Structures are given as C-alpha cells and as structure tokens.
Chains A and B, each alone.
Chain A
Amino acid sequence: MKPRLVETAARLVPLEEMPSLGERVVQSIVVALVLTGAGVVAWKLSFLTTPLALAILGFYVLSPLVNLIENRGASRGVAVLIVFGGGLLVLIGIGLLLWPSLEHWLQQKPSQAGEKSAFEIQLGKRMDGWEQAAMASRYRQIDWHGAFNQLRDLMERQRKGLTETLPQVAMGALSSAGTLVLAPIMTLFLLIDGARMHKAIVAQVPNRHFETVLTLLHRVDRQIAAYLRGAASESGIVAALLALVLAALGMPSALLFACIYGVANVIPLVGPVMGAGAGLLYALMDPSAPSLGVLAVGYLGVYVIDAMLINPMVVGKNLNLHPLTIIVGISIGGSLAGILGMLVSIPFIAIGKAIINTLWDAVRRQQAHRRGYV
C-alpha cells in the first residue's frame, strides 16, 4: 500500500508542552499529598499488610501453574480451583509427614521446678563431655571449669527466656491467625481476577502516560515474577535435597528441618545459617541425632551445591542485593513482623529494587530517544 503523503503548513502534532515552574510546584504538592494520603491509609490498614504481602507472593508463585492448566483448555476459575485443591493436598501431605516429629515434641514433658527435661539432661551430658575433653587438652592453663560454668549459666538464662517468651509468641501467632486466613482468600481473588484488576487500574492512567505506564508495569511484573518464582523453586529443590541428605545421615525429623532450612533459604546470607542453626541446635540436645560435625558437613554440602548449581540455574540473573541492604532489611522486617517479617522483607526489597531499576532504565531510554528524534 503506497502511503498518501499530504504536505501541510499548519502544525498537525501539537508540541509537547513543558509545565511551567508554578505547574510543577502544584504537581509536586498534589503528588506529595496523594503519597501522604496513601501512607496514612496503608498505616490504618496495616493489619492487612502481612496477608496482602503473602497473597501477592502466592499469586506470583502459583500463576504459572494456573496459566498452564488454563492453557490446556480449562476455564480460569477451574484452573485456580485445581491449583488450590492440589496445593491443599500437598500441605496436608507435608503436615501428615511432619506430624510424628511435632507430636514427639508436643509429648515432651514440660520441666517442673527442679526437674530437668530430657533435652536439658542430654545437653548437660554433652557439655560435660566437652568440658572433660577440653580439660584433657594441652591448653590446661585455661580455666575450662569456670568457662563452662559461665556457658551453662548463659544457656540456662536463654532457656528460661525462651520458655517464658514462647507462650506470648504462641498467643501472638493465634491472634494474627485471623488476618493470616485472609492471605489464601486474597490469593484466590488475585489469581481469578488479577488481569481484570490490572486492566481496571491502568485504565485510570491519563492518555499521555498510558503506554509508558503499561510497559513499565509489565517490565516490573516480569522481574518480580522471575525473582519470586526462582526463589520459590530454589527453596523447594534445596529442601528436597536436604531432606534426602538428613535422612541418609539418620537425623530425626529430617523433613521438618529440611522444610525449615528451605523456608529460611529465601533470606540471603543469614537464611542458611538460621536454617542450619535450627537443625544443629536440635542435634545438640537429641541423643539419637548424628554428631554435630557430620551434620555441619551435610548442611555445608547442600549450601555449596545450592550456591554453585541450583541458584545459578534456577534463579539465574538475580537482583544482587548488597549485604548491608540485606542486613538492614532483615532487621527492619524482624522488628515490624518478627520471623515472618524477616522472610518477607527480602523479596519486597528485591521488588523495590526491580521497580527502581526499571524506572531508571525507562528514564534513560526516554532521554536517549529524545536526543535522537527531537
């Protein structure tokens, strides 16, 4: 088709109007007011923050499965129900597998005044063994007895603190359970109607910025999806691998400790230490557990395989957060919402970084285009 060229004297494309200083000031004030208002609303609805954060994570992790089933001809609603039903069955399965270990823990007699629990007795025996070994070593000039007594006092204080704090933690978890129930419901709605909600939101964007906003949202969405799905897959694979390793080493409740490590693994740097710490602490107190050295080698082996093979293959180009950012993020997350906050903080920092990266890239592209075309 030959284009029809018509020359015109009048301007057909209006010049892009640059806002005056006054308009910019007014725009800045409006933006600041809107952001402040949004902040106040978010603060008032802060009880919804955790379930919403979990729902968004659930949406990103589950949507590829829903898309896959929808692609096979099922309607969106049916696909979501299949994934939810399947997820529920998996959770029940994991629960049934974990139940014997949990039941064993629950049946432990609580220590009465002056009476020691099986764990404390075992810990005492191990510490006595270490003290004797230390005293028999060539560093006899050290006051091993005094040092171990101090260590015993420290551990006793920690144990008491933990025993007193645990009921409060349990009550806190129960009180937040009501809002946490909202998370799967929100995930369900996001999976069914996420595309329509997205469309309804972008429909509010003015024509002038529509294409830019649509493209930016799409890029941010892709980055977040790639990161979260990568992290979830990595955690799953690492947990499965560790379960095999721990079971082979004869660790009691191998699946439980593998799950704890897998979940903690979402937190870079500190996560694997926390996850391994749980298993090692348990082994310290359970006579049927393998020795600490063997366990530490097992955990280290899985960590190395994760760092060298699983992470590069599954997560690929990750968002490379600075270690200081991770530590500050974990501290803030922990102070706001405890362990859950620590787990959720890093994915959300990564999401924030993805948004900033994409916006920065878009601004640079726009400037490059303007230089080339205007």
Chain B
Amino acid sequence: MPAFLDAYLAPKKDIPRRAYLTVSTLVASAILALWCVLSYGEMVRNDFLPTPDQVVTAAISGLNDGSLPLNTTVSVTEIMSGFIIASVFAVPLGILMGSFKIAEAALEPVTNFVRYLPVSALIPLLILWVGIDITEKISVIFIGTFFQQLILIADVARGVPQDLLDVSYTLGANRRTVVARVLIPATLPGVMDTLRVTLGWAWTYLVVAELVAANKGLGYFILNSMRGLFTDQIFLGIMVIGLLGLITDQLFKLLRNWLLPWAAA
C-alpha cells in the first residue's frame, strides 16, 4: 500500500476536509459519467434509460406548463400533513411509553404488531374507511411513520439516565417537575433525530400513498409516466423526490442545531 494512503485508511480517523469533498465529488461524478456513457453511448435502450438532457428537458417543460410545481406542492402537502399529524401524537405518546411502564404495557404490544404490517396491505381498508381523496394519502403517510416514531421515541425516553432524574429529586423536584423540566428536555435531541430520520421514511411512502385514485403528485406522476414508458419523466420524478428529501434533511439538521445548541454535533 502506498504510504500516502495510510492515513486515509485508519478506522474512525478524520481525513482532511478537502480530501473528503474530493471523494464525495468523485463518486457523484462517476455515477453521472456512467449514466452519460450508458445513455449517450446507446449501450442501454433509450426507453429504459433516458439521457441527462432528456431529463432536463422534461424538467423545463414541467416547469413551463406548471405541472411540476403542482405535483410537488401536492406531494409536499400530503407528506407534511401525514408527518406532522403523526409527530404530534407520536412524540408525547412515545415519551410516555418510554418513561412509564404502564404506558409501555398498554401501547407497546399493539405498536409492535402494527409496525410490521406493510402499509400497502392496509390500503384496501383505508379506502373503505376514509375514501380515496387526500385523506387516504395522508393516512398512508401517517401509518407509515407514526408507529415507527412511537417505538424510536420510546427508546429515546428510555435512554434518559436514571441518575439525571434521581439528582433532580435530591434537588427538591417532585414527579411533575422532573417530567416537565428534566425528562422532556433530556429527550429533545433524540426526538429531533427521530423526526429527521422518519421524515425521510415518510418520503419513501409517497408512491404507495399515491398508488390509488391520485391525479396529482410526484408519486402519481411517476406511476403515470411508466404507463407511457416516459422514462425521462420517471427519472425527473425520482430526482425531485431525492432532492426534496435532501433539502428537508439538511433543514432539519439546521433546525436541530439552532433549537438545541447545547446538543449540537
């Protein structure tokens, strides 16, 4: 092995920031280059793999006729509604579940049962119960994220050190004060991390959510493009979802560091 590589191959050791960025850029460029070679070189049929410029053209026409912003808005609305409703219930319930054995006994078995059901298996029931409008889409996102959040947040609450609670009692706190001023603040970094991870998962349920009776949205757009073999549009839809996922993830990271500077990475 060349000596200069030695420093880069030590487990868990930092490498210079420039080297880090170089490697990231190289890998991303390599993937893009491979795509160009395969598509422009006509090594893969064009209706299987569009060329990058076809995807750009699809994006421009989507922007011009307003369909891309519309589909994006619809999907973001569905995702955020489902995600926010899930979070509003999952955060307090999860903290209860991880802190009070009685809440754990009540909620954990049910949660662990529902958690492993494929969301798509519940779609027929959802259609019967809530219909096929946006409520159904939001319900899919809700079910896909809520039960996962519950388990993860319960674990966060369980991980709050007992000594932190005990020291509060010896400082004169009663149970209520301990919950409000110690237990809940102590869970916040973990709760933020859980929300960040599960928001990513919420995006992965988008296509499932828009599987049924949708006429707008990025998931619908992708499914519909498949029927006409418009792979450039499929690629466009996938890339917009990936990009939005990346943006929301970074926003969450910023939000966490801004709200919880004491726990900043």
Do A and B associate with each other?
Answer: no
